[in-house]
Chains A and B, each alone.
Chain A
Amino acid sequence: MFDEDLIASQRLTRSPRGEHRFLAFKIRLPWYRSLYLSCFDRIELSVNGSRQAEEDIFLKLYGTTYRFSDLTKHYSVLWFVLDPAELLIQHDSNLPSDRCVIVLTLFFRIPYHRHVFRQVSTCTSALQIEDRTAL
């Protein structure tokens, strides 16, 4: 519904955390109403054409960081429709330039359609990379 707003950042930050490096950018809920985190059950994300493993993707909302593949357990956490969340990707490889192309596809269930209808939202964006010392 709001695919063009899915990626809500112009920039992508790159920060170290422990032994790893993380990329981070803001995303919006691409639907007209708020949804529970349990509705988000699949994500596909590529960085410069390289597909990222789902277990390396995290969602940060209201100060809490969730592994994306665990979101379905959080059926009481409401993502309010106007609030951006942050997507974090564990990404240790070097990127060749200060810009990278993100292709993001989010799959989610519509809770009032029980288990029948699903939504898919896709957005592509070229983001400027900004290095930071910590997340």
Chain B
Amino acid sequence: MTTTIRLGTTTYSFNDEYHSYDLSLESMFETIGSLSPKQGLEIIAPQCIRTYPEVSEEFERRFRYAVERYDLVPSAFGHYSDLGRIPGRDLSIEEAVEFSRIQLEGAKRLGYSLARMSYQSFDLTDRREALYRQLLPDLERLELKLAIEIHAPNIIESEQQQRVIEDVAKLNSPYVGFTIDCGCMTSRVSPVCERKFLELGVDPAVVKRVIDFWATEPSLPELRAEIEAIDGGPLVELLATETWIYFGHGKPAALRAIMPYVFHVHGKFFQVDENGNDDAVAYPEIIDILVSSDYDGWISSEYEGHHWLKNRDAYAQVKAHQQYLHRLIDDSEASKSGTART
């Protein structure tokens, strides 16, 4: 059975280990390399690169050494637009293009052919001003794909996200597409989130009320009204806000329509349970769509349980997540070719 789906991970998965100095930059790369041969390596640029947005020659040398030594494959460069860097105003188009161009040129030097773009431009009235359009000449020059991230609380189906999707479809460039973060397609709030707030002493009945309310797919104003109605203090407000921010209500079916523009996938996950299954994201449906659409690209496992759990277990979690994805991919491939797995 062959698949065009490749697995990797992002340095974001190792936030805790890196921030606490348990892992240095190189030992983080080594750890990622030990997951499997030809493991995909996605870096968060302002996490890893001291000279961000520039990629220094020293970083390039260290990065290339690690890629070679630990048998890694550069999968996606974690670019940031940082439009709000200057207080009180967005970067001008010229400033934003220059800030991005520096990163994209650096990404190319590191051997990346794709950059994830963290960028929100929903309120632009003239889409010619969209950063991805402004960067198109640079992308063509560098032969680098730019993959705009769709991330919870935004979902594919939202009106504002659809405006961007329509524009990217209209642009019809092999260099501009999307990174879909699977956290925008969840079927429940991860128990690790729930457990954290219980441990912090929030009344179990209130936790249940907040989680049940999340399942009603509230809008932000509805959520705010519920927070006010509960009147449970800052921890309850934080729980409600986090359920809304981290656990998107998008439906995997919406993914199928944008597959021609999906360049990269963030395999967001919060915890792999004791049965080896992801505890919140609608992966069986998502993987089915990726396989049946002949997705040819990376899934970067992106562990985010560390937001609530501080057990520094990212390696085991990413390993388990990739085993889970392999199983789903095999099942979907078997189903696609009409040979059910036994």
| A residues lining the B interface (CB < 8 Å) | 1-2, 4-5, 28, 32-36, 38-39, 41, 72, 75, 78, 80-82, 109-115
B-chain residues with CB within 8 Å of residue A33 when the two chains form the complex:
44, 46-47, 80
State whether B44 touches A32 (Cβ < 8 A).
yes
State whether B83 touches A111 (Cβ < 8 A).
yes
| B residues lining the A interface (CB < 8 Å) | 12, 15, 18-21, 44, 46-47, 50, 52, 80-88, 90, 118-120, 307, 310
B-chain residues with CB within 8 Å of residue A80 when the two chains form the complex:
50
State whether A41 touches B47 (Cβ < 8 A).
no
Kindly count the residue-residue contacts between A and B in the assembled complex, taking CB atoms under 8 Å apart. Answer: 65
A-chain residues with CB within 8 Å of residue B44 when the two chains form the complex:
32-33
Q: Provide the bound-state CA to CA distance between A35 and B47, in Å.
A: 9
Given known A1-B307, A81-B47, A112-B119, contact A32–B86 (CB-CB < 8 A): no
B-chain residues with CB within 8 Å of residue A112 when the two chains form the complex:
80-84, 118-120
State whether A5 touches B20 (Cβ < 8 A).
yes
Q: Provide the bound-state CA to CA distance between A72 and B12, in Å.
A: 27
A-chain residues with CB within 8 Å of residue B15 when the two chains form the complex:
1, 32
Per DSSP, chain B at the interface is: loop
**Which of B46, B87, B88, B118 is A34 in contact with, Cβ under 8 Å?**
B46
**Which of B19, B84, B118 is A115 in contact with, Cβ under 8 Å?**
B84
Q: Provide the bound-state CA to CA distance between A32 and B11, in Å.
A: 10
**Which of A41, A81, A110, A114 is B19 in contact with, Cβ under 8 Å?**
A81
State whether A72 touches B87 (Cβ < 8 A).
yes
Q: With both chains docked as a complex, state the minimum distance between the C-beta of B192 and any C-beta of chain A, in angstroms.
A: 15
Q: With both chains docked as a complex, state the minimum distance between the C-beta of B268 and any C-beta of chain A, in angstroms.
A: 14
State whether B84 touches A2 (Cβ < 8 A).
no
B-chain residues with CB within 8 Å of residue A28 when the two chains form the complex:
19
A-B contact pairs, 6 of them (CB 8 A): A5-B20, A38-B87, A109-B84, A112-B82, A112-B118, A113-B84
**Which of A32, A75, A78, A110 is B87 in contact with, Cβ under 8 Å?**
A75
Q: Provide the bound-state CA to CA distance between A117 and B194, in Å.
A: 22
Q: With both chains docked as a complex, state the minimum distance between the C-beta of B47 and any C-beta of chain A, in angstroms.
A: 4
Q: Provide the bound-state CA to CA distance between A33 and B14, in Å.
A: 12
State whether A32 touches B47 (Cβ < 8 A).
yes
16 additional contacts, CB 8 Å, given A2-B19, A32-B15, A78-B52?
A: A32-B12, A32-B19, A34-B50, A34-B52, A109-B87, A110-B84, A111-B82, A111-B83, A111-B84, A112-B80, A112-B82, A112-B84, A114-B83, A114-B120, A115-B84, A115-B88
Q: With both chains docked as a complex, state the minimum distance between the C-beta of B191 and any C-beta of chain A, in angstroms.
A: 20
Q: With both chains docked as a complex, state the minimum distance between the C-beta of B157 and any C-beta of chain A, in angstroms.
A: 20
Q: Provide the bound-state CA to CA distance between A93 and B21, in Å.
A: 36
Q: With both chains docked as a complex, state the minimum distance between the C-beta of A133 and any C-beta of chain B, in angstroms.
A: 31
Given known A32-B15, A34-B52, contact A111–B85 (CB-CB < 8 A): yes
Q: Provide the bound-state CA to CA distance between A5 and B310, in Å.
A: 12
B-chain residues with CB within 8 Å of residue A36 when the two chains form the complex:
82, 85
